[in-house]
Structure 1
Amino acid sequence: MPRSLKVHLQYIEKVKLAVKQNGFARQVDLAEDLGLARSTVSNFLNGKPVDYLNFYEITQRLNLDLQTIADFEDNSLNSEISISDEPIQSSLSSPSNTEISNYINRSSIESDCYKTLIKPGSLIRIKAPKLMGKTALLNDILNYGQQNNYQTVYINLQLADGTISQDLNKFLRWFCAVVCQQLKLTNKLSEYWEEDLGSNYNCKIYFEQYILPKINIALVLGLDDLDRIFSSSQIASDFLGLLRVFHDEAKSYPIWQKLRLAIAHATEVYIPLNINQSPFNVGVPIELVELTFEEVQEFAQKQGLNLQTAEIEQLINLVGGHPYLLQRAFYRLVRQEISVVELCRKATTESGIYCNHLRGHLLNLQQYPELEAALGEVVRSSDAVNLNPKLAYQLKSLGLVKYQGNNVVPSCELYRQYFEQYLEVK
């Protein structure tokens, strides 16, 4: 295995797209999240050599398959990795472990998704807070579709900019155009879009009379970060109702049976929807919850770690069963940079492994005083707190709180300790 790796030329556009697909507006945001130099991330995204371990970490954060995108045939990258890197090398040597992300196998989730996907007109609904592995599971579903020779389209709704996401007609035209672009179909919106028919009807007709007839096999449409539209009640109501229509039409019309929907969101939609117009009470619901002790143990072993029971308990006491926070810990432990005891002791400090992650949450909260105050109340209380439902939804979508009945508590001790220090009493 080479000491350095670079992205193969044919995958450079794919990795650049993955930055935005995983919620990073800029390269610098990704660098700060990972605690890496900006130049390292820039080199990775532009097909230049970077240290093997940095290459590995970036691929994990972007839910990319290292074995697929790396240029292993470049003879200038032939030096062997050092002995201290062997745990990661061994964890990647088995074909079954070529990609370790925030999402790991959880009981029958994958099989439920696969069984659903092959059914005509199916709908899969994935719900989990940020960084719990929704995008990785969604990609897994799309990959399964490709293995079955289905057409696949992935759309992260975060890519709909402000002007588009506030105007229903612009949003639905953008949605149709993106689907066509990914399917390599000519954009014919001008031929099918009739102003007097209304945006929802136009969108339905465009799929029914143009997109779906153009493909001879099933189409899996993956929609990530559906929460992006929740802040605009009109767009959310109409678009979610349209998705429900897409799903329902398959019951009566064969053309719509080609379409399989997989949607991912962090919270329940907090705007009122007619029960017969909502996509959230049909299809197969998939909720990603925290990992159990046994799953954490398996997760560690997949990354080359053989932790003692007491060490796993220490980590769970700090970050719960949060996949992303555990992955960050495992990465440092694999590199033998820190012990579990030291990691836990420094966790909420500026020298801790979570400093950039925590600081990013803090800066984000400071832009929204209501959310900041609400979380401050939660972390300073010894009991579960009853919050305004919308604020509770938003904090849960960020992964900062979890529900106990109708009330909320910090999602883990790491967040309680950190934000108790840094959020001012209002």
Structure 2
Amino acid sequence: MLISQEKFENIYQNELTPKQKKVLPLFLAGQTDEHIARELGATHRSTASHQLRNISTKFGFPPETEPDYRCNLIEMFAKYKPELVSVKALEKCGHIIQNIRFPEGLEPLNSAFYQERSPIESRCYTAIKELGALIRIKAPKQMGKTSLLKRIMAEAKKSSYSTVYLNFSLIETNKFTNANDFLRSFYAYAMNQLPSAPPLIVWDTDIPSMVNCTRIFQSLLKQLDGVLVLALDEVDKLFEYPEIYQNFFPMLRNWNENANESETWEKLRLLVAHSTEDYGRLDINQSPFNVGLPIKLEEFTEEQVKSLAIRHGLDSKNILPLMSLVGGHPYLVRLALYYLVSQDASIGELLQQATTDTGIYSEHLRRHLETFQENQELGRVFKEIVSNTQGIKIERKNRQFYQLDSMGVIKFSNSFVMPRCRLYHEYFGDRL
């Protein structure tokens, strides 16, 4: 198991001997033990091997119990000091994937290309085990919310927790006609994932739907032998239906608050993922969006993008030009890395065509452009943003700002709003 970045930095900076500091970069560059020994002025390769065993022990991989200690070292440095790790070293441990999956949708649990944003994952894994936990994940679309949410659920399953996942964008539109029909459907989706759930025939049409849903979920929790993790993804969908969210969100808030005084409700753990903070006419004191552990997913840092690049078998020299165009936007970065590998394109060629209708981002950009053409007021506001190099000053956040934030095409800086990256600035500046 990898140590924390803080502990790693302390060992790297303070605990390595001068000789170990000479051996380590040669090893991470992919050099053989013979070559390392010669660089040290030694006559036998065992000198290098001895130093690497000692280094590995300091980082928590004693060779006596960790037969793959060399690859563990490479993996650790690929995560925390990617600029030191060569493609050659990664290849030795099989960390470079030859058949790279097109980056679409969530990153599978076994993916080599899921990029952790430490300490977010560890915080969530700890929080989900707390009584009555509520974790709310906020980020624009394509920033990795669902990938994180699925990993929290996987961690919960290790503790034998029951899990239910519900993506609201996949619920049929006709289920949003009224609160009673919606809550029945909501329970039906949960019931289908839990064999022990009470059947829908116990639904009492003579009492209010929120009371009914609460009563039946309480019955479900009582029957469960253990914890239930209820993961609700893309709850923004509900903001289009005031009659629904004005009942549903206060109900979730009530369930979470019940955990403070009820052994039954403390078995419920809530995961809520959303793209925007526009809650319409909902009273914030009835909302689940201002309680629990808030997790805000930011863009990847330069080091995180470097780590991704080397796992694709790419030199880190590609990173700065790419980030100058798309920043650390997870999806835009991953798409570029995919094409750099799969089509053997140069970073110069890729960037030159990026804002054209034949570039790798054309489908992504056209989809947003169609949204702006269909929603003229939204397009007008975004046109004003991209037309000003410094962005525009925010007097107050309006409905359009929330929508643009949800789409992931803007960012807020102090009291200004501006395009999220140069790609959006140049493409939409020409077309809106």
TM bracket, shorter-chain basis: 0.7 to 0.9
Look up the match of 1:100. Answer: 113
Does the alignment pair 1:361 with 2:368?
Answer: yes
Counterpart residue identity of residue 288, structure 2: P
Q: Distance in 1 between matches of 2:306 and 2:226?
A: 41
Structure 1 residue 373 displacement after superposition: 1.4
User: Does 2:158 align with 1:151?
Assistant: no
Say if 1:127 and 1:267, in contact at 8 Å, map to a contact too: yes
Q: Does 1:257 align with 2:266?
A: yes
Residue deviations 1:368-400 (CA, integer Å, cap 9, x gap): 111111111111112322375110000010011
Which of 304, 307, 326 in structure 2 is aligned with 1:295? 304
- TM-score by length of structure 2 reads 0.74
Q: Distance in 2 between matches of 1:239 and 1:163?
A: 17
SS in 1 for 2:130: coil
Letter in structure 2 aligned against 1:278: S
List aligned pairs for 1:189-228, cutoff 5 A: 189-191=200-202, 193-209=203-219, 211-228=220-237
Q: Distance in 1 between matches of 2:335 and 2:164?
A: 30
Change (3 A) 1:375 1:147: same
Aligned equivalents of 1:257 and 1:300: distance in 2? 42
Aligned to 2:148: 137
- Partners of 2:369 and 2:196 in 1: CA distance: 43
Determine if the alignment matches structure 1 residue 63 to structure 2 residue 106. Answer: yes
Q: Which residue of 2 aligns with 1:384?
A: 391
CA distance in 2, matches of 1:166, 1:327: 38
- What is the distance in 1 between the residues matched to 2:129 and 2:389? 47
Aligned counterparts of 2:179 and 2:166: Cα–Cα separation in 1: 17
2:239–2:280 CA contact under 8 A, matched in 1: yes
8 Å contact from structure 1 (residues 172, 203) kept in 2: yes
Residue aligned with 2:298, SS: coil
Give me the whole-angstrom Cα distance separating, in 2, the residues matched to 1:167 and 1:408.
36
Q: SS of the counterpart of 1:285?
A: strand
Secondary structure class of the residue paired with 2:355: coil
Give the superposition deviation at 1:194: 2.3
Report the CA distance between 1:201 and its aligned residue.
0.7
Residues 181 and 187, structure 1, Cα contact 8 Å, conserved in 2: no
After superposition, where does 1:260-299 map in structure 2 within 5 Å? 260-299=269-308
Separation (CA, whole Å) in 2 of partners of 1:389 and 1:374: 10
1:273 aligned partner, one-letter code: L
2:426 maps to what in 1?
A: 417
Within 1, Cα distance between the matches of 2:260 and 2:429? 52
Please give the per-residue CA displacement for 1:289-315, whole angstroms capped at 9, x wherever unaligned: 11111111112122222221xx32211
Counterpart of 1:170? 181
Q: Does the C-alpha gap of structure 1 residues 66 and 243 become closer, same or farther in structure 2, counting only changes over 3 Å?
A: closer
TM-superposed deviation, 1:351: 2.1
Alpha-carbon offset, residue 170 of structure 1: 1.0
Which residue in 1 is equivalent to 2:124?
A: 113
Letter in 2 for 1:201: V
* Contact 1:64–1:99 under 8 Å retained in 2: no
> Does residue 1:407 correspond to 2:416, yes or no?
yes
3-state SS of 1:57 partner: coil
After superposition, give the CA deviation of every residue in 1:158-195 in whole Å (9 maximum; x if it has no partner): 0222221241111111110000001134662232x223
Measured against aligned partners, the alpha-carbon deviations of 1:220-253 in whole angstroms (never above 9, x if no partner) come to 1110001000122231122111111111111111
| Contact 1:270-1:390 within 8 A present in 2 as well | no
> Does the 8 Å CA contact 1:384/1:404 hold for their aligned counterparts?
no
User: Among 226, 230, 234, which residue is 2:243 paired with?
Assistant: 234
**What is residue 31 of structure 1 aligned with on the other side?**
none
Task: Quote the Cα distance in structure 1 between the aligned partners of 2:232 and 2:190.
Answer: 11
Determine which of 240, 252, 255 is the counterpart of 1:246: 255
Q: Which runs of 5+ in 1 are unaligned?
A: 1-51, 68-97
Corresponding residue for 1:393?
402
SS of 2:417's equivalent in the other structure is strand
Take 1:110 and 1:372, find their aligned partners in 2: how far apart are those partners? 36
Question: Structure 1 length normalisation: TM-score?
Answer: 0.75
Structure 1 residues 275 and 380: alpha-carbon distance in aligned structure 2, compared to 1, 3 A threshold: closer
- Partner residue in 2 for 1:344: 351
Q: 1:66 to 1:304 in 2, by over 3 A?
A: farther
**Number of equivalent positions:** 334
- Structure 2 CA distance for aligned equivalents of residues 135 and 65 of structure 1: 10
CA contact (8 A) 2:278 2:399 kept: no
Instruction: Write out aligned runs for 1:300-315 (5 A).
Output: 300-308=309-317, 311-315=318-322
**Distance in structure 1 (CA, Å) of the matches to 2:217 and 2:228:** 11
Secondary structure at the residue paired with 1:149?
coil
SS in 2 for 1:381: coil
Shift of 1:139: 0.5
In 1, the alpha carbon distance for the partners of 2:360 and 2:271 equals 34
**Are the counterparts in 1 of residues 196 and 224 from structure 2 also a CA contact under 8 Å?**
no
